[in-house]
Chain A
């Protein structure tokens, strides 16, 4: 029994670790889409954030400066999307793909000199009061700051979005720009802020990967997690609270794939490797039964994006 509990907790916290970067992107992208803008470039923003964060941490020796720089890099790249979409009226899907590729290229080019550098990690909760908690202390101890920050972002975003006047206008922009306009506000400002926030969160997610979790920079290290996050926004129904189970689902399936292999379970590794995609996909299909009419909470403004892309 104790063995079982330990293994289960190990898996849960492994899921949380794997889920954190994805969760941060889901939160950011959900906020962007809430304003009626979709940004497929988050993967590129993550990569640029990861590279910038790692480079700054390596040069200055301070991982926290790296995290801040990563957030700035994410915002900076998201502004390319903002200029194309809001400034030039470009197709959002095309612009997002452009940002994705740009981020991958820029990070690969400027990241080369930093490959193989060693940086200080952000530290963890070990040797604080939490490591003395019975049973859980062993698992809470290794938790790193980016995990905590991302978890804290959920209530913060939720309060902002659902309990403040600005949050209301943010949401109304996503439903109908005309409403915001009729209320005497410029919807473009909200969309600009929404894109920037998405940039901030994806840059932060990059730092969570490169500065905190692996303490390493590798070209293309996000390995598709940014795009997965865009998909998980739909699973999470554009709701910051649902973002946690959606991201955890992905993290848990990824952790489970590796865990099952280490247990020596007799299932083909090829099948196991599909888990992180099969499980969220199944949940999406099951949870959306009967939701087609409402679109599962999709902001009405996004409909226009998909129709214009057709």
Chain B
């Protein structure tokens, strides 16, 4: 209402007939191409879901915006063109978004994955490591060599959470399991990912997963070499009809719709909004034919335990790579602690730095 009055006032003062836009403009900024079949693709699917499910919303987006002052300019440009809700979707956008948010207190910002808020900036993310834990359970039940392979881009908390959750999931059903990690130092380098997959398989790993932009590359190599694969970010089961176990995938749409609605009706809260398996912002994909009915049931039972909050992925004991106890039995890591994770758990082979 305030906005309408202000619009009317502004238009009468300036004596320009401004037709109050019926549509809310929502802007998205991606760090990579929206067609990466991975992280940015998943965020963009959320945008498309919003366009489809909200009549009075218009979306704009910018791709390939680096995490530096450029993104501030992009945000300012969006705001000046009438965007009312901005989704800076990359981790490194946070501080820039905070600056722009301070300058434009009437515009709402929803940052993906950050741990800072301001009056008009909230953060959203989803605990996809729950799904990775479950995928780890499936991998631990399936592996014959007891070696899992993980192709990882950069050692940031989100990636470490997934490596550790996957490994802990596998260990929970098969204590012998180890996970070998190969860092590719790039979110997207298909050749390197394929070669890393080859190296892991010839090293004895028989279930591959990863945290790079697109799961397609390692999933295809795994299928070609006759081993199993677990996807991440997006469902890649069509690339591995034989070896696909399951995947951990995003589903941002409903969450983003809620955020935009809250900005429109004034119920906006500057908080850390976190989805999980229960809200289906992060979820398990369909199982592949390689997973037996019994194993599937084991995974689904564990999923139910997580959803009912009977079981928590980061409940102690959490033991570090070198055997030190990081979380005591009886304790559980807080959201803050998991989102700042900087260690690998016992059973992971590979160096952090």
Contact = CB atoms under 8 A, between A and B. Distances in A.
A and B co-occur in one complex? yes
Contacts of B190: 209, 214, 216, 218, 221
Q: Is the interface of B mostly helix, strand, loop or mixed?
A: mixed
Contacts of A18: 191, 195
Given A115-B35, A218-B188, A213 B194 contact: yes
A120 B149 CA distance: 25
A269 B185 contact: yes
Nearest to B196: A258
A244 interface: no
B350 A214 contact: no
A225 B190 CA distance: 12
Interface in B335-353: 349-351, 353
Interface stretch (B72-80, B86-94, B199-207): B199-207
A162 B168 CA distance: 61
Contacts of A213: 191, 194
Given A219-B36, A269-B353, A262 B182 contact: yes
Place the interface of chain B in its size category. Answer: 35 or more
B216 A216 contact: yes
B350 A261 contact: yes
A235 interface: no
A108 B180 contact: no
Contact of A112 (B35, B183, B186, B191): B35
A115 B37 contact: yes
Given A261-B183, A269-B185, A221 B199 contact: no
B84 interface: no
B192 interface: yes
Interface in B199-244: 199-200, 202-203, 213-214, 216-217, 220, 224, 234, 238-239
B36 A223 contact: no
Contact of B192 (A219, A223, A268): A223
Contact of A209 (B155, B182, B191, B349): B191
Interface string A56-82: 000000000000000000000000000
A268 B220 contact: no
Interface string A205-227: 00001000111101111010100
Given A14-B199, A209-B191, A262-B199, A118 B36 contact: no
A129 to B, nearest CB: 21
A304 interface: no
Nearest to B183: A269
Interface in A217-274: 218-221, 223, 225, 254-255, 258-259, 261-264, 266-270, 273
Nearest to A270: B353
A273 B152 CA distance: 13
B189 A262 contact: no
Most buried by B among A10, A259, A267, A268: A259
B58 interface: no
Nearest to B41: A115
A21 interface: yes
B33 interface: yes
Contact of A255 (B37, B195, B350): B195
Contact of A225 (B191, B214, B220): B191
Interface in A59-116: 108, 111-112, 115-116
A268 B182 contact: no
A214 B199 contact: no
6 contacts: A14-B198, A17-B198, A18-B195, A115-B35, A219-B33, A221-B191
